[in-house]
Structures are given as structure tokens and as C-alpha cells.
Chains A and B, each alone.
Chain A
Amino acid sequence: MLRMSQLSKAYRTEVVETFALRDFSIHVREGEFVAVTGPSGSGKTTFLSIAGLLEEFSGGEYQLDGVNVRGLNDNQRSRLRNEKIGFIFQAFNLIADLNVQDNIDVPLRYRGFDGAERRRRIAESLGRVGLSARGRHYPAELSGGQQQRVAIARALAGSPRLLLADEPTGNLDSQMARGVLDLLEELHRDGATIVMVTHDPELAVRAQREVHIVDGQVVDLAPQPRLVSSAAAHL
């Protein structure tokens, strides 16, 4: 699903070149739930941005669902991002002056679905996150947990092949965080491929596999025991 080989990302100024990622290689298979961990500044978010085609990389290769990303123009990258990737952000990143339905509608508009198809997908994704009754609410009228659920519904609406989550529970209290994680696990059980960036080892342990990044390089690809549910984790 996602394969990066010898990938590097350098930020250059006139006097210094800093590598956020160096010789970075990772392979995420279809249906996997991978947690990417590491200390602050290790390159986790840069990895996620490149994986989500939000940022260019300096060297190496990146294949997303069999498509070599290098050399794609902005239109091709945008279309690929729209069709294959769903984003879940730490800060939810809902658009404040759009209601819940319209927020979920955004990626569907760019996909070019007709009105009936968009309405069907919005209703389905809202139902999946348990917010069918909140379609006309604005983000400010929802709790943090509900906002993150809307963001997940938005990410799911386009039926992406890959969900990229950046600290999805970072702005939530523990109860809300648990609910969001339960939802991600449920999506994974339903076959979704999820890559979740987190600095929280307790969250990482709930993923199928953990990838640890230090100084822009993968240092550990140790397999983790798969936890089927949050309840099981507490046993």
C-alpha cells in the first residue's frame, strides 16, 4: 500500500541543510494498522506529510498503492490524495463556517461526485461515526470528541485506501480519546489501512505494528502483539 525506499527530506537555507528524513524506508501493507512513534522533532509529521502527498521529498522513492509518486504534478498529486488518502488531524481541522455535512462534502466535491452520491456518502459516513443527528451543526457546536469523529467521517467519506492520522487524540481528554481510538480500531477491523503518528506509547501499543523514528530514520520495526479491542488491552 505504502512503500518508501531510501527516502530523504532536506530543508535548506543559505547556510545550512537540515535533514528531517534520511535514508527512510518503510513498507505498510494493505489492511495494516501502523503506529509511527518517536520523540519531538524526529520527523514523524514530516513522514506523514510526505506520505499524504502534502510535501515533496528530496530523494529516494515513494510508491502509494502502486503509483510512483515522484514526478507527479500538482493536479495528479491532488487527485491521488483525494482518491486514496483520508486525513485525521490532531486539531481536527474542520472548516469553521461549514456545517458538519458541508465539511464532509469538501473532499467529495473535489472528487466530482454528483449531488445524490455525495448525500449518500455523507449520510453513510456520519452514521458510521454515530453523528447522524448532527449533520447541520457547526463545528463550534460540537465537543472535541465529536469534532474528531466528524473529521474521521470526512476522511472516510471518499472511501480512501489509506487513513493517515496525526496525533488523533492529542487534543482530547482520555474518555474522548478512548472513543476515537475504538473507532479507528473498528475501521481497521473493517479492512482500513491506518498509519497513525503519535508520541504516546500507550496509543502506539494498540496498533498492529510500531515504527520508531529517531533523527529522521527508522530505528525499530519490531512487531507488536495485536490488540483486538480496547477492552482486551485493559485485561
Chain B
Amino acid sequence: MMERGKGDRIASASFFLLGLPATLAIPAIVISLFSLAHPSGLSLALSLVIPSLVIAGIALAFSAPLGIGAALFTSEFLHFRQRRPVTLLLEGLGALPPVCAAWIATLILAPWWDAISLPLFVFFILTPAVFSMASLATPLIPVHLVDRLFGPKLALLCSVLLGGCLLACIPFFRGASVLPPIHSSFGAGIAISLFLAPKVAARVLFHLTRIPDHLREASLTCGATRWETARRVVVPRAILPIGFTLLELMAWASGETMVVLVLCGSPAQAPWGGATLASALVLGLPESIPSSIAQGGLLWSALALLILSVLAQIPTALREPRP
């Protein structure tokens, strides 16, 4: 490294001191929250971790296939001239404010919920479930026999029927409506996926575009189709960073507040509703008396969210080269 002059040293020290708040924010937040937290809130925080993760999981279950699919299509199949506007669009859509997603869910999705719940159910839940059950059921004698005797189409139909019967045995899928109402954890997950899916797409696209082009070219030269290249070269290469990104986004979505607050966070939304760490914080913290046990207890919810997000980011941090 080149020798530094006095001016450079002063500049370096100045920039370091100016930029110190960005570095000290994490220790400041962690230390202050830990020092003010009261152990009495630990059990509440632990009990709310699961509902928070469930909503984040539902959101990710919808947004991950959409986001990864959209990113894969954009990076591998879209014409290179169309990639930039689509990338800009995906990044822009990811900035939809959560409170707007809550408004859209309440005003636009809610009146059509019954109409859209069936396609959602079929597209996201029934089809994958039936396909997985069909693949599990293949060794079973009836389907296998049908496949041998009548061909794959009838076998698939039998699998779908079998899968449907199995699904009908689960109490969740029985009832007047195929899906829970919009004012539920499920509805909140759908609403979160409105802005989570473009976020997933933009992040996955970033990882896919970092894969060297010569790998794709080599695969295409060997005679593989574009899809085979995507499936056998691109996806395996990006699977780890994509997985870590999904993990980070799940931790981030578990702290999503506004949508949960509107759709299922309040006690009035029972029995389908569910308070989460974030909604408990927003509803309880302003009401708590400063420096009280109630305030200290609720801070465990913030700490739980903090710990979840830190844990989710550890794999990514470990992948980076260390000194």
C-alpha cells in the first residue's frame, strides 16, 4: 500500500469518526435493548416467535416460487434488451410500502378473496401437494398398476384424486371456504408476499447475474438447451446464496408489522388471528410505563427479532472472506 501523507491520515480519521454511528449502531441497539429488557417478557417473546415465523413462512411460501421463477426467467430467458427495464420494475415493485400492501389487501383483495382463494389454493397448495403425494404414491400398488395398465395420464388423474382425498382428511382444508379468511395469518402472509415477491426476485436476480457467462456458453456449446443450462449449471451454482437470501428475507418478514397489525395482529381478529413479535411491540410498548417491568418485558420481543435476523445473516457473513 502506498505511503500515506498527513492529509490522508486526517481524512481517514475524519471519515472514520463520521462513519462511526453506522458501525456503533448495532452494538448500541443490542446493548441498550439487553440492558433495559426484563426477564419476565422472555416467555411471551418465545411464545410469539412461532406465530411470527409462521406468517413469514406463509409469505415466503408464496413469494419464493414467484420471485425465483421471475428472476430465473429474467436472467436466463429474457432478451438482454428487456432485462434492464424488467430489473428496474422488479426492484421498484419491491419498494411497495407495507402499509399500502395492507390497504390493498383490505380494500382490493378482501372483496375478491373468495374468488381468488380457489386459484391460489389450486396453484400454490393443491398442485405441489398433489404432485408430491403422487411422487410418494408411485410405489403404491394401485397407482403403479393404473400407470402400467392405462398409461401415465390416467395415473396422474388417480394421483390427483388420491391426493385430494388425503388433503380432505386434514381438518384445515375442510369447511365452507377452501382457505382461511383474509383477516388471518394466512391473509397476512399473502399480503406480505405482495411486496416480498419482487424483493426475492430482485435479490435472486442479483445472484444469478453474478454467475459467469462462460459457464452458460460452455453448456450451450455442449448441446444443452437453454433450460437445461439454467437447471444444471446456473441454479446449482446459485442455490446456496439464494437459500441464504431466503433465510434473511424470512427473518426480515417475521418482523413485518403493518400488514400483521391490520390483518391479524389485534385480539379482535381471533380465532384466525395471531399476535406476532412485531405487533406485540407496536401495540404494547407505547402503552407501557417508562422503565417499568412491562416495558422491559416487551423489549424481549425486539431482542427476539434482532436475534432472529442476526442468526439468519450468519451464513451469509461466514461466506465472506475473513481477514
The answer to whether A and B interact is no
Binding site for B on A (CB under 8 A): none
